[in-house]
Amino acid sequence: MALPEDVVVQEHSIELPTNTTNAKGRPRILTHILLVAGGFLMIYPLIWMFGASFKPAYEIFTNQGLLPQHPTGINYVQGWNALQFPFWYYLWNSTLVCLGAVIGNVVSCSLAAFAFARLRFPLRGVFFAVMLGTIMLPYNAIVVPQYVLFLNLNWLNTFLPLIVPKFAATDAFFVFLLVQFFRTLPRELDEAAKIDGANYWQIFWRVVLPLATPALATTAIFTFLFTWNDFFTQTIFLNNQATFTAPLALRAFLDSTGQSNYGALFAMSLISLIPIFGFFIAFQRLLIEGVATTGLKG
Amino acid sequence: MARSSSHLSQAVLRTEGTAPRRGFFRLRDKQREAIAGYLFLLPWFMGIIIFTGGPVLTSLYLSFTKYNLLSPPQWIGWANYQLLIHDEHYLHSVRVTLTYVLFSVPLKLAFALLLAMALNRGLRGLAIYRAIFYVPSLLGGSVAIAILWRQIFGPDGLVIKALSLIGIHTYSWVSSPNTALWTLILLAVWQFGSPMIIFLAGLKQIPPEYYEAASTDGAGSWTQFWKITLPLLTPLIFFNLILQMIGAFQAFTPALIVSGGDGGPVDSTLFYTLYLFIQGFGDLHMGYATAMAWVLLVVIAIFTAVAFLTSRFWVFYQDERG
């Protein structure tokens, strides 16, 4: 197994009790068969896409198998150079946008969350309710005025519209996630630091943040993944190929080739998914715990 | 700051607090805390005013205007909203979106629950199964996967060819108005992984004693599911329902990519957000687009409110009993 050791250990510690409680002799093999079949069906398209990216054009529509009969790397070469810039350029743009968004979210959401979770001030309840309300706010309802604003600031076709709002804690979901996490940290730590003469900034920076690394990592990883996959905001604010991110480049490529060059489209699509796979493999446990705990605390 | 001297004496006299220091020493603890609170919230306040709250209200204003970016907004009262009611494309997009929400969300949650229960039986290889079922929900929203979907359900695509092997002969699901929307619903259901993880975590919280007690009383697994598992999971079902519903109402990327940008064939994949995008950013009918956005905002608010208001009848919180 390619998993880090602690993951494996943790799995066992979870599995053992359920194993004993579930010892009624169910036909477990049947469950395995169904799960394997279902899982295979689920990811067959993904594996097939991988195989198809190495198939010559005529084979993609004729060969439903996973392996190419006449493997070729031509799709990667064609796709890489299909647009105005080589594909790495769009991946780099995506990376810049993601890094900006991650830093912005981690900084601004943790600041806001500390205030909501730890400090008392007039109207805190009202502001907290407003913050919860913005979690459900559809992006549609703010996109037109934002567009007008960024147009007047001359920010269109730059990454600023995608990054600057993140520095203003606009992803309220992460504020909420961090508030919930900060609340689980014992308040006695704050009190002790206060007695030692720490001010609120020092309590935040030296006491709360170091203890909140799992929640901050969850925020960072999910911000990265959401931003990497984001298409709606990027397609609105970026219209110039020099500023295109990977999803916009894929769309431009799709529009320019239509149905004709799926091999190259698949090749570039797969390359654009590599960071997501990478994050999943590297942070599997954090990701899954992140989903599980934010769900539980909702 | 005129009264600061009295504050100072109070601060000095207080016994339980810390020694007042530096610039803040004239203020009471409470005031210092409040000022710190507002300072920590400063970025958030700016976000609310400039990027979210302000724009929502501006949207409301623009929805009563005719606005094309080039000339200033021109007040036209309820005209945009009246146009909406008579806009065939708009009404169609409402039907398409409601169909999508009403089918994709419950199906997604049903699969999530089913798989979570199957995986919660202490199987070997749980981590691998969980990873396989979870991965699509990380990838599914991307343009890359939408392109894949367009091929596999497109003319002679993978799924179409595979179906012909078992005797179902069709040409293309994405080019037929009867089936195009269903390929998108399928794409949404395919991403059941993240609610599954949430359900799985919830199932692990249910004390095994509940089931043991139930089986001693002679309850079968079907009864146990309805009387123990489902009631104890209702808070999570509720949470997932709200999140998934809000997401589904705003679905955009798959429809744009799979339909090639126009919500076709014959508007069958014209999602609400896609039509808003076409009206606002294609035709520069910004006033009209904001009216659409506000209708959606109200509809989402109503759906959420209904879910919250009815939740006391069907969501069961364990700590309420104690």
Q: Is the pLDDT of residue B15 over 80?
A: no
pLDDT at position A151, please? 96
Report all structural domains of chain B as residue ranges with CATH numbers, in order of start.
4-79 (no CATH), 82-321 (1.10.3720.10)
Gap from A104 CA to chain B (nearest CA, Å): 10
Residue A8 lies in a domain: no
Q: Is the pLDDT of residue B20 over 70?
A: no
Same domain, A144 and A56: no
Residue A16 lies in a domain: no
Q: What is the DSSP letter of B66?
A: E
The per-residue pLDDT for range A142-187, each reduced to its tens digit, is 999 999 999 999 999 999 999 999 999 999 999 999 999 999 999 9
The per-residue pLDDT for range B176-195, each reduced to its tens digit, is 999 999 999 999 999 999 99
Extract the tokens encoding B185.
Answer: 């619903």
As a whole number, mean pLDDT of residues B21-49 equals 85
Same domain, A114 and A231: yes
ipTM above 0.90, yes or no: no
Residue A57 CA to its chain's centroid (Å): 32
As a whole number, mean pLDDT of residues A246-265 equals 90
Same domain, A43 and A138: no
Whether the Cβ atoms of residue B252 and residue B277 lie closer than 8 Å to each other:
yes
Cβ-based contacts of A115 with chain B (< 8 Å): 36-38, 40-41, 44
* Cα–Cα dist B232/B298, whole Å: 31
Choice among A22-31, A96-105, B40-49, B292-301 with the minimum mean pLDDT: A22-31
Domain enclosing residue A278, as ranges: 88-297
Number of separate domains in chain A: 2
Same domain, A154 and A44: no
Q: What is the DSSP letter of B62?
A: H
Q: Is the pLDDT of residue A102 over 80?
A: yes
pLDDT band, very low/low/confident/very high, at A288 (cuts 50, 70, 90): confident
Say what angle helices B126-139 and A284-297 make with each other, to 10 degrees.
Answer: 80
What is the pLDDT of chain A when averaged over all its residues? 88
CATH number at residue A221: 1.10.3720.10
Same domain, A167 and A41: no
Contact B53 A138 (CB under 8 A): no
**SS3 for B82?**
helix
Residue A20 lies in a domain: no
Q: Determine phi and psi for B129, rounding to 5 degrees.
A: -55, -45
* Cα–Cα dist B123/A151, whole Å: 55
Gap from A201 CA to chain B (nearest CA, Å): 8
Q: Is the pLDDT of residue B21 over 80?
A: no
Q: Determine phi and psi for B179, rounding to 5 degrees.
A: -115, -15
* Cα–Cα dist A137/B144, whole Å: 27
**SS3 for B173?**
coil
DSSP string, B91-125: HHHHHHHHHHHHHHHHHHHHHHHHHHHHHTTT-TT
Give the position of tokens 């990054």: A163
Q: Is the pLDDT of residue B4 over 50?
A: no
Q: Which chain B residue has the Cα nearest residue A200?
A: B36
Same domain, A55 and A119: no
Q: What is the DSSP letter of B18?
A: P
Same domain, A109 and A176: yes
**SS3 for B65?**
strand
Cβ-based contacts of A134 with chain B (< 8 Å): 48, 52-53
Residue A217 lies in a domain: yes
pLDDT at position A108, please? 98
Gap from A24 CA to chain B (nearest CA, Å): 11
Residue A154 lies in a domain: yes
pLDDT at position A287, please? 83
Radius of gyration of chain A (CA): 24
The share of chain B scoring above pLDDT 70, in percent, equals: 90
Same domain, A38 and A120: no
pLDDT band, very low/low/confident/very high, at B319 (cuts 50, 70, 90): low
Q: Is the pLDDT of residue B238 over 50?
A: yes
Radius of gyration of chain B (CA): 27
The per-residue pLDDT for range A39-87, each reduced to its tens digit, is 999 999 999 999 999 999 889 888 888 999 999 999 999 999 999 999 9
Q: Which of B43, B162, B273 sits opposite A64 (nearest CB)?
A: B162
Residue A81 lies in a domain: no
Q: Which chain A residue has the Cα nearest residue B239?
A: A298
**SS3 for A7?**
helix
What is the pLDDT of chain B when averaged over all its residues? 89
Same domain, A159 and A56: no
Whether the Cβ atoms of residue B283 and residue B87 lie closer than 8 Å to each other:
no
Q: Which residues pair with B66 in a beta bridge?
A: B74
As a whole number, mean pLDDT of residues B256-268 equals 91
pLDDT at position B6, please? 43
Extract the tokens encoding A159.
Answer: 């990454």
pLDDT at position B269, please? 95
Cβ-based contacts of A26 with chain B (< 8 Å): 121
Whether the Cβ atoms of residue B278 and residue B263 lie closer than 8 Å to each other:
yes
pLDDT at position B22, please? 53
- Picking from A10, A37, A72, the residue at the C-terminal end of a domain is A72
Same domain, A53 and A178: no
pLDDT band, very low/low/confident/very high, at B50 (cuts 50, 70, 90): very high
pLDDT at position B23, please? 52
Gap from B5 CA to chain A (nearest CA, Å): 22
Q: Is the pLDDT of residue B68 over 80?
A: yes
- Picking from A38, A72, A106, the residue at the C-terminal end of a domain is A72
Residue A113 lies in a domain: yes
- Picking from A13, A37, A72, the residue at the C-terminal end of a domain is A72
pLDDT at position A259, please? 63
**SS3 for B88?**
helix
Residue A43 lies in a domain: yes
Tell how strand B74-75 and strand B65-66 pair up.
Answer: antiparallel
Q: Which of A130, A131, A165 sits opposite B51 (nearest CB)?
A: A165
Q: Which chain B residue has the Cα nearest residue A25?
A: B121
Neighbours of B276 (CB within 10 A): 28
Same domain, A218 and A98: yes
Extract the tokens encoding B25.
Answer: 């020493």
Q: Is the pLDDT of residue B7 over 60?
A: no
The share of chain A scoring above pLDDT 90, in percent, equals: 76
Q: Which chain B residue has the Cα nearest residue A221?
A: B138
Sign of CA dihedral A261, A265, A266, A267: positive
* Cα–Cα dist B136/B92, whole Å: 29
A264 CB-near residues (< 8 Å, 6+ apart)? A75, A76, A78, A79, A82, A253, A257
* Cα–Cα dist A47/B93, whole Å: 34
Q: What is the DSSP letter of B179?
A: T
Q: Is the pLDDT of residue B14 over 80?
A: no
The per-residue pLDDT for range B110-167, each reduced to its tens digit, is 999 999 999 998 888 888 999 999 999 999 999 999 999 999 999 889 999 888 888 8
Residue A126 CA to its chain's centroid (Å): 30
pLDDT at position B89, please? 96
Q: Is the pLDDT of residue B322 over 80?
A: no
As a whole number, mean pLDDT of residues A6-26 equals 40
Same domain, A112 and A38: no
